[in-house]
A and B are shown apart, each in its own frame.
Chain A
């Protein structure tokens, strides 16, 4: 699976959009981009995933660049409960074995 690079940490103001970048320059054609988050030592929680089209669900939006070498997770209106470590993972559809990196520690401030 391709390796991902994320900023170590970032702050966000409550109520504002949080834009979390992820680089995956070695992604191959059959690999998906997944985002999970982990709130204070709980089990990771699935957020969203995509292949090449932008995706949106009730939690977030995923924007993938046309060359698929990077993506951005957007939390449209961050709340204090969105404080967590966010993991960007590139994964082939087959297998669902997830390789977690260090993630981005997001702190939402009042």
Chain B
């Protein structure tokens, strides 16, 4: 079955280190998204992509970057991890821009110490 997977599921890193979170989907979806969720809050959009070589900033993009070199993957990079980036990160994908549901991964819990 097609799916969307995130790795790692849990990670602890030190302040100032570069960290990359992986997201891989096998639906061949054009759209991919990264969200973060802080304790007790809803999800906030970090970056998104509508296709290969396309990336866009979301609501809370500072300190994060993404690249889209193929359809299946949208890795999220924290250039220099900060304690404020301790959060749960969710990746999502959807088929097209038009009126479709989004499918979410299981999340990556990142702790910056």
Q: Bin chain A's interface residue count.
A: 20 to 34
Query: A43 vs B44: C-alpha distance in the bound complex, in angstroms?
Result: 13
Q: Tell me the smallest distance from the CB of A16 to a CB of chain B, in Å.
A: 27
Count residues of chain B with CB under 8 A from any CB of chain A: 26
- Of A42, A49, A98, the residue contacting B43 (CB under 8 A) is A98
Decide if the interface of chain A is mainly helix, strand, loop or mixed. Answer: loop
Q: Are A96 and B107 in contact (CB under 8 A)?
A: no
Contact code string B79-113 (vs A, CB < 8 Å = 1, else 0)? 00000000010101010011111111111000000
Q: Inside 8 A of A46's CB, which chain B residues have their CB?
A: 101-103
A97 at interface (Cβ–Cβ under 8 A)? Answer: yes
Q: Tell me the smallest distance from the CB of A59 to a CB of chain B, in Å.
A: 12
Centre residue among B33, B99, B100, B107 by max chain A CB count within 10 A: B99
Q: Are B102 and A96 in contact (CB under 8 A)?
A: yes
Q: Inside 8 A of A21's CB, which chain B residues have their CB?
A: none
- Of A42, A93, A97, A103, the residue contacting B48 (CB under 8 A) is A97
Q: Tell me the smallest distance from the CB of B55 to a CB of chain A, in Å.
A: 13
A15 at interface (Cβ–Cβ under 8 A)? Answer: no
Name the interface residues of A1-50: CB closer than 8 Å to any CB of B. 32, 34, 41-46, 49
Q: Inside 8 A of A97's CB, which chain B residues have their CB?
A: 33, 45, 48, 58
